Amino acid sequence: MKKIYYLVLLLFLFSSQNVEAASDQEKKVCSGGLSIYDKNGEIKVVRPSTCITEKEYQAYLKSPDYLCQYYLKSIWKESERPYGKKQYQYTEEKLKKIKQLKEEGKTLCDSGKLAEGEAKLKEAITIISFTRMN
């Protein structure tokens, strides 16, 4: 009877490890969405969460235009959205230059000239980096 008990226990342990290994390969990582309460006290989804697998995420990181997309998001966060504008003491001249460089960089990236586009976007980020914070 003890042999059967140990045999069943071992089979259970090995089968549970296989299930866990299989689920890790397909495990998805989700970015948090954004929900707020409206005036009626009900939850309103502003931005739904997105889920991707590790394999999809690694493919995204290795995509040729990854840096262009990353730099564009960074410029938007720091110089275009209201919170970013409050953090820095921008002059109108600097904001115009950043916007011009961002547009030029985006155009170059979209046309396939990734290195030149990244250089323009880095120049815009440099202006942001050397702008005094509030």
pLDDT digit string, tens, across residues 19-65: 444 455 678 878 777 888 888 888 888 888 888 898 888 898 899 99
**Are both 88 and 75 inside the same structural domain?**
yes
pTM of the predicted protein model? 0.64
Q: Which residues, in sequence order, are bridge partners of residue 87?
A: none
**Are both 73 and 45 inside the same structural domain?**
no
The H-or-E segment that residue 131 falls in is none
**Are both 82 and 121 inside the same structural domain?**
yes
pLDDT digit string, tens, across residues 61-118: 899 999 999 999 999 989 888 888 788 888 899 999 999 999 999 999 999 999 999 9
**Which residue segment(s) compose the domain that 44 sits in?**
27-62
More confident residue, 15 or 33: 33
